[in-house]
Amino acid sequence: MTLTGPTTTTAEGSVTRERILDVAEALFAQRGLAGTGVREIARSADLTPASLYNHFASKQALYDAVIERGVRPLLEVIGRLPSREHTAEAFDDTIGAVMAHLASHPHLARLIHHETINGGDSLKGLVEHWIRPLIEQAQVEVRRDQSDYWSDDEAPLMITGWFHLVVGHFAMAPMLQEIFGEDPLSPHNLERQTRFLRKLSRLMMQDRESKDS
C-alpha cells in the first residue's frame, strides 16, 4: 500500500498531468483542437473526463499547455546556437538540432502547423519571441557577409522558407508516407532530409563567395 510512494513529482507536474499532456499532444496533432474530444483524451489517459478537469481548467487550457510544453524547448534549441563565426557550420548545426528535436517529438510539427494555419492565438506569444529575433539576427548576418546575391530584405523570406522546409517535412509526414510508401520520419529518411537541407543551405551561403570572387 505505502510502497508506491508519492505519485507527484514535486518539481512541476504529477505523472498523471504529464500523461495527459502526452496523449493530448498526440491527439491534438492528429485532429486539431476542434477535432479532438475531451472524452477521447481522457480515455487515452485512462481517466474520466471529470478527472481530467482536476488537472486542467479547460480543454483550451490543456491545449495551451501542450503547445507551451512542446514549443518552448524547440525555441530554446534554436536560441542556443546562433552566435558563431562560421555561419555555414553554425547553420548546419541548427538545422541538425532542430531536425533532431522535431524527430524526437513527433507531434510537434503538426501541432505548430495547426496553430499557424488559423491565427494561432496559443502560439502567438511564443512565436513572436522566437521568429522576430531570428530574423533580426539573420538580417545582421546577411548584411555582414556583404552578400550581393541575397539582399537584406530577403532575410525574412529565407527564415520563413527554412521554417517551411523543416517543419513542413515533419508536419506532412502522414501524407508523404501515403505517397511514397515509406515513413519520412524513419532514421534513414530523416538523415537524408537533413543532408538535403544542408546541401541546400551550403548552396545558399557559399554561393556568395563564388559570386564575390
Partner DNA sequence: GATGAATGAGGATTCATTCAT
Partner DNA sequence: AATGAATGAATCCTCATTCAT
The site for DNA (CB under 7 A) is made up of 1-2, 4, 6-8, 14, 16-17, 36-40, 47-51, 53-55, 57-60
Chain positions contacting a second copy, by CB under 8 A:
30-35, 110, 113-120, 123-124, 127-128, 131-132, 149-150, 153-154, 156-158, 160-161, 163-165, 168-169, 171-172, 174-176, 178-180, 192-193, 196, 199-200, 203-204, 207, 210
Q: Cell 510544453 sits at which residue?
A: 69
Residue 164 binds: one of a second copy, DNA, none (C-beta under 5 to 8 A by kind): a second copy
Residue 58 or 186 having the CB closest to DNA:
58
Residue 15 or 175 having the CB closest to DNA:
15
Residue 105 binds: one of DNA, a second copy, none (C-beta under 5 to 8 A by kind): none
Residue 210 binds: one of DNA, a second copy, none (C-beta under 5 to 8 A by kind): a second copy
- Rounded to the nearest whole angstrom, what is the least distance from the CB of residue 104 to DNA in the complex? 27
CB 64 within 8 A of CB 126: no
- Rounded to the nearest whole angstrom, what is the least distance from the CB of residue 47 to DNA in the complex? 4
Residue 154 binds: one of DNA, a second copy, none (C-beta under 5 to 8 A by kind): a second copy
Alpha-carbon gap, residue 37 to 50, rounded angstroms: 13
Residue 61 or 157 having the CB closest to a second copy:
157
Residue 54 or 186 having the CB closest to DNA:
54
Residue 85 or 153 having the CB closest to a second copy:
153
3-state secondary structure the chain: CCCCCCCECCCCCEHHHHHHHHHHHHHHHHHHHHHCCHHHHHHHCCCCHHHHCCCCCCHHHHHHHHHHHHHHHHHHHHHHCCCCCCHHHHHHHHHHHHHHHHHHCCCHHHHHHHHHHCCCHHHHHHHHHHHHHHHHHHHHHHHHCCCCCCCHHHHHHHHHHHHHHHHHHHHCHHHHHHHHCCCCCCHHHHHHHHHHHHHHHHHHHHHHHHHHC
